[in-house]
Structure formats: C-alpha cells, structure tokens
C-alpha cells in the first residue's frame, strides 16, 4: 500500500506488553461493568452463606463482644486482675417490626464485603492494571496481597481491640438515672463503625504510596505533622478506652505505627523517583 494511503490516526499502537493501547470509552465501561459484576456476585455469594448461618453468625460473631467470655476480656483478665474488664450485662432490643430482618440483611452484606474484599480488590486491580506503564506495574507488585492483608488486620483490630473497649465505655457511661438499653440497629451500627472503617484506615500506607507517586504527599509533610497526628491518635485512644495506660497504648501504638510506616513508604517512593531521574 502506498504510504500516502495509510490512515495514521486509526493505527493501534502496541503497548509495552504487546497489546493494543486503543480502547474506546464504551469498551472501558463494558470492561468495568464486568469487573463490578464479578465483584458484586462474590459479595452476594458470601452474603447468602452468612444469611443462612444467621444463628451462628449472630451468636458467635455479632453478639460475642458483649459477652464477658469474649476473647479480649479473657486475655486481659489472664494478664492481670487489675486489667480485667467487660461491659455490663445488657440485652439488645428491637423496637421495630422489620428491624431484625433488615439488620440480618445488612449484616450479611457487610460480612460478605469483608470476607470477599481480597477478590473485590483483585477485580478492581485487573481493571486498572492495563492502563499502567510496565514500571508502575512492577512497583505495585503484590498490591492485592498487601491491601487485603492490611484491610483484614484492620478489621480484626477494630473487632478485638476497639470494639470491646468502646462497648465497655459506652454501656457504662450514665447520665443521672438513664440505663443503657441499646437497640439492635444501634448495636450493629456501632460494631460496623468500629470495624469496617478501621479496615480502611489500615490502608493508609497504600494510600500514601499512591499519593506520593503523583506528588501530592511528601515525607517532609508527614514528618512536619507527626506530633499533630500523635496527639489526635492519643486523644481518640483516651476517649474509647478505660482510664489506664496499658489499654490506651494498645490502641495508640498500632495506629501511630501505621503513620510511621506511611512515612517510610513515602520516603522510599521519593528515593526511587530520584534514582529514576538520575
């Protein structure tokens, strides 16, 4: 074919991995749709299993932190009688006709998301990965495993550490003659608030890694606000824990360690970027 008859604008240029770079906007939407469908189906599959196992789930997982034989309470009592604590005995109540059923569905979906998070994140990574340069893919190697591990550790931290302390503090907090009689919705909402966001908070090092890659965060910035971050973490820990030093440290140390880890991650990113430029 003569060179003057070649339509240069319609040539699909190969990427670094040998695939074509050209995809229309609708093609991207279609691909994203299937990734989302597979992710949602994984959540629903786990949610159905959780829904069917309602008695086991509510007795051994959801309501476990309010019982005096919960693992966290037994652990602290084993360490020392001075550290022994547990929430007062209370019954969770449902005041609305639909409350138990709606909460059952809600818990099933939330646990479905938590359990299937590694696969959900994997599907999102598969969608993003083709748009990255080869060196960016190499730099993000293992990100699915890292993010999944951090998320699940965060959820476990919220469930076994934050929830028992917060539950004990809030149920023992009295105004005049008021008696704490939490509803099912209130109890589950609090449990969700202590676990799911904590899992996302534990993604802080990964978030900082990404922000550092695009130049929005520097190690110098994080070091500048290090004292502020420590004070905020300390105040939050003091609010949700009993008034003794050890239990406050149980909350403070892991959260502050995440902040310090983020500084290390950002510093490493900056060093690698400087090496690439030199």
Q: Locate 175 and state its tokens.
A: 């105004």
Number of structural domains found in the chain: 2
| 3-state secondary structure at position 14 | strand
Model confidence at 192, pLDDT cuts 50, 70, 90, reads very high
Higher pLDDT, 239 or 263: 263
pLDDT surpassing 80 at residue 9: no
255 and 225 within one domain = yes
271 and 243 within one domain = yes
Model confidence at 173, pLDDT cuts 50, 70, 90, reads confident
Helices (H), 17-58: 25-52, 54-57
Beta bridge partners of 20: 14
pLDDT surpassing 80 at residue 270: yes
> What is the SS3 assignment for 95-119?
CCCCHHHHHHHHHHHHHHHHHHHHH
User: Which range in 4-8, 23-27, 245-249, 253-257 is most confidently predicted, on average pLDDT?
Assistant: 253-257
156 and 250 within one domain = no
- HSE (CB half, 13 Å, CA atoms) of 183? 11
What DSSP character marks residue 244? S
Higher pLDDT, 263 or 135: 263
Question: What is the C-alpha to C-alpha distance for residues 207 and 55, in angstroms, rounded to an integer?
Answer: 37
Last residue of a domain, one of 167, 186, 202: 202
User: How confident is the model over 72-76, as a mean pLDDT?
Assistant: 93
Percentage above 70 pLDDT, the chain: 87
**Is 10 within the bounds of a domain?**
no
192 and 222 within one domain = no
186 and 145 within one domain = yes
pLDDT number for residue 86: 87
165 and 152 within one domain = yes
137 and 64 within one domain = yes
pLDDT surpassing 60 at residue 31: yes
Contacts of 56 (CB under 8 A, 6+ apart): none
Model confidence at 241, pLDDT cuts 50, 70, 90, reads low
Q: Which range has the worst mean pLDDT, 25-39, 146-160, 196-210, 228-242?
A: 228-242
Percentage above 90 pLDDT, the chain: 45
pLDDT number for residue 16: 45
Q: Locate 211 and state its tokens.
A: 């922000």
Q: Where are the beta strands (DSSP E) in the chain?
A: none
Q: Which of 185, 177, 222 is nearest to 107 (CA)?
A: 185
**Is 7 within the bounds of a domain?**
no
Q: Which domain holds residue 240?
A: 203-278
Question: What is the C-alpha to C-alpha distance for residues 30 and 36, in angstroms, rounded to an integer?
Answer: 10
Contact 183, 93 (CB under 8 A): yes
Q: Taking the CB of residue 135, how many other CB atoms lie within 10 A of it?
A: 11
Question: What is the C-alpha to C-alpha distance for residues 14 and 109, in angstroms, rounded to an integer?
Answer: 42
| 3-state secondary structure at position 275 | helix
3-state helix, strand, coil in the chain (%, to 5): 75, 0, 25
210 and 174 within one domain = no
pLDDT in tens, 82-133: 888 888 888 999 999 999 999 999 999 999 999 999 999 999 988 888 877 7
């Amino acid at each position: 074919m003569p060179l003057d008859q070649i339509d240069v604008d319609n040539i699909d240029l190969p990427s670094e991995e040998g695939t074509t770079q050209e995809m229309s906007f609708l093609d991207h939407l279609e691909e994203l749709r299937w990734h989302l469908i597979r992710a949602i189906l994984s959540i629903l599959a786990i949610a159905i299993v959780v829904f069917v196992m309602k008695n086991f789930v509510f007795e051994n997982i959801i309501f476990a932190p309010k019982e005096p034989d919960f693992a966290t309470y037994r652990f602290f009592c084993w360490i020392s009688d001075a550290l022994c604590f547990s929430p007062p005995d209370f019954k969770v109540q449902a005041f609305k006709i639909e409350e138990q059923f709606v909460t059952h569905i809600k818990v099933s979906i939330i646990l479905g998301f938590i359990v299937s998070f590694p696969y959900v994140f994997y599907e999102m990574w598969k969608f993003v990965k083709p748009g990255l340069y080869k060196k960016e893919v190499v730099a993000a190697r293992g990100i699915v495993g890292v993010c999944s591990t951090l998320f699940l550790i965060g959820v476990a931290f919220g469930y076994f550490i934050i929830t028992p302390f917060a539950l004990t503090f809030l149920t023992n907090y009295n105004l005049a003659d008021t008696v704490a009689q939490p509803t099912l919705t209130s109890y589950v909402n609090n449990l969700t608030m202590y676990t799911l966001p904590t899992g996302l908070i534990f993604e802080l090092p990964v978030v900082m890694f990404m922000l550092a890659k695009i130049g929005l965060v520097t190690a110098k910035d994080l070091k500048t606000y290090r004292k502020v971050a420590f004070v905020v973490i300390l105040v939050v820990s003091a609010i949700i824990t009993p008034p003794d030093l050890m239990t406050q440290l149980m909350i403070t140390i892991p959260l502050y360690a995440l902040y310090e880890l983020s500084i290390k991650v950002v510093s490493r990113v900056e060093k690698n970027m400087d090496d690439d430029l030199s």
